[in-house]
């Protein structure tokens, strides 16, 4: 796992190809990032499915309650099947764009 902090955003990259280990580690350490917008990059693991990513829903819901963004970067996912309450995009750049838009929405009171 690689952690990179850029301003008000932290990018956490899965590097070992073991999604379940990554999810467990994140579940245990997410409170350390409660004041940050989070991007989870799981593009290194080519076997990650949408079903796997749905395991992030409870973490995402709790993190968003704190008025912070939670975005997942994944490849080979049918983005039409992604639920509305989970942000999954194909690149880190798009994740950063989502965070910027959500920050503006929060500033405007939405």
Residue-level pLDDT at 37: 97
Task: Kindly indicate the confidence band of residue 61, based on its pLDDT and cuts at 50, 70 and 90.
Answer: very high
Residue-level pLDDT at 17: 87
Tens of pLDDT along 72-104? 999 989 999 999 999 999 999 999 999 999 999
**37 with 68: CB under 8 angstroms?**
yes
What is the percentage of the chain residues whose pLDDT exceeds 70?
100
What is the spatial distance between Cα 16 and Cα 80, in angstroms, rounded to a whole number? Answer: 27
Residue-level pLDDT at 46: 87
Tens of pLDDT along 3-57? 999 988 999 999 998 999 999 999 999 999 999 999 999 999 888 999 999 999 9
Write down all domains in the chain, each with its CATH number in brackets. 2-108 (3.30.750.24)
Please give the full DSSP string across the chain, using - where no structure is assigned: -EEEEETTEEEEE--SS-HHHHHHHHHHHGGGGTTSEEEEE-TT-TT--HHHHGGGHHHHHHHHHTT--EEEE-SS--GGGS-TTSEEESSHHHHHHHHHHHHHHHHHT-
């Amino acid at each position: 796992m690689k952690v990179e902090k850029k301003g008000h955003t932290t990018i956490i990259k899965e590097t070992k190809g073991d999604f379940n280990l990554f999810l467990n580690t994140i579940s245990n350490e997410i409170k350390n990032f409660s004041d940050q917008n989070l991007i989870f990059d799981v593009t290194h693991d080519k076997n990650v499915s949408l079903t796997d990513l749905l395991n992030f829903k409870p973490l995402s819901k709790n993190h968003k309650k704190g008025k912070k963004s939670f975005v997942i970067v994944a490849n080979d996912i049918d983005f039409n099947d992604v639920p509305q309450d989970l942000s999954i995009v194909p690149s880190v750049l798009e994740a950063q764009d989502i965070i910027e838009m959500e920050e503006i929405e929060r500033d405007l009171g939405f």
